[in-house]
Amino acid sequence: EAGVAQSPRYKIIEKRQSVAFWCNPISGHATLYWYQQILGQGPKLLIQFQNNGVVDDSQLPKDRFSAERLKGVDSTLKIQPAKLEDSAVYLCASSLDPGMNTEAFFGQGTRLTVV
Amino acid sequence: DAKTTQPNSMESNEEEPVHLPCNHSTISGTDYIHWYRQLPSQGPEYVIHGLTSNVNNRMASLAIAEDRKSSTLILHRATLRDAAVYYCILRDGLAGGTSYGKLTFGQGTILTVHP
């Protein structure tokens, strides 16, 4: 079974530039999560999708971050404009359904450096 | 969100058992106890989960207190490959709930395994 695919693996941009990350979840997984992980901290949930609808985006900085999940499959996370404090690893995860008996699978992440 | 409390770090010797504790005194009846771990430079990976009864799988065992206010992840024979950050997470299993399926990570426990 193919895992969660993310691209790019690494990205370096200057502050105030824009950047987009892509995630392809495991086939058939209804739930998709985007996390931000700053060095030395646990992952922080940015947004959770159930199919193509947003379930939780309470911690997404909506003035600069946006995310979409077209057709309930792939997802993109965008930052515009980027700030220095956005430097982090962005993790995508998916699960078959959010129910109690299913686990979440994580991608390798995209490491973003804002200079 | 229901919170969990874990020690910041623990150490073990190779081939010895490891008991990783987690306190979750505000757990609700529909919360499942999930454990994930994160190896260096990787995304988190699922370890085990349970509701009320103790659980075993090929990776670990999960012991849940009778009142469900605490749990312990047990690695029966630690290897160097088990060195990671271990996260204890409460995941709401109530369909339709506002936090349904949400995976909220804390700081976790850094496990160091000595040869």
The pLDDT tens digits of the residues spanning A21-47 come to: 999 999 999 899 999 999 999 999 999
How many residues does the structure list for chain A? 115
Distance between CA B11 and CA B80 in Å, rounded? 11
What spatial distance separates the first Cα and last Cα of chain A, rounded to whole Å?
37
The answer on pLDDT for B22 being more than 60 is yes
Q: In this structure, what DSSP letter does residue B100 have?
A: B
The per-residue pLDDT for A98 is: 66
The answer on pLDDT for A100 being more than 60 is no
Taking the Cβ of residue B93 and every Cβ of chain A, the question of whether any pair is shorter than 8 Å is answered with yes
- Overall average pLDDT of the A86-106 stretch: 88
Q: What is the DSSP string of A28-88?
A: T--EEEEEEE-TTS--EEEEEEETTEEEE-TTS-TTTEEEE-GGGS-EEEEESS--GGG-E
For A38, which residue in chain B has the nearest alpha carbon? Answer: B107
Type of residue found at A83: K
Distance between CA B105 and CA B115 in Å, rounded? 29
- Overall average pLDDT of the B90-113 stretch: 83
- Overall average pLDDT of the B52-65 stretch: 95
Chain-chain contact of A104 with B99 (C-beta, under 8 angstroms): no
Q: What is the pLDDT of residues A45-62, one digit of tens each?
A: 999 998 889 989 999 999
HSE of A28 in the Cβ direction (CA atoms, 13 Å)? 5
Distance between CA A112 and CA A6 in Å, rounded? 13
Q: What integer best gives the mean pLDDT of chain B?
A: 92
Chain-chain contact of A41 with B95 (C-beta, under 8 angstroms): no
| Phi and psi torsions of A86, nearest 5° | -85, -5
- Contact, B85 vs B105, CB < 8 A? no
The DSSP H or E segment spanning A21 is strand A19-24
The per-residue pLDDT for A81 is: 97
- Overall average pLDDT of the B3-17 stretch: 96
Residue B98: pLDDT band (50, 70, 90) is low
Chain A contact set for B95 (CB, 8 A): 99
- Contact, B52 vs B69, CB < 8 A? no
Of A48, A99, A105, the CB nearest to B93: A99
Distance between CA B59 and CA B47 in Å, rounded? 7
Taking the Cβ of residue B55 and every Cβ of chain A, the question of whether any pair is shorter than 8 Å is answered with no
| Chain CA centroid to CA A109, Å | 8
- Overall average pLDDT of the A78-101 stretch: 90
**In B7-114, beta strands by DSSP E:** 9-13, 18-23, 31-38, 45-50, 55-56, 61-64, 70-75, 84-92, 109-114
Nearest alpha carbon to residue A16 among A83, A62, A90, A89: A83
- Overall average pLDDT of the A61-87 stretch: 95
Look at A10-14, A88-92, A95-99, B51-55 and tell me which has the smallest mean pLDDT: A95-99
Chain A closest CA to B31's CA: distance in Å? 8
The DSSP H or E segment spanning A24 is strand A19-24
Chain B contact set for A97 (CB, 8 A): 101
The per-residue pLDDT for A12 is: 98
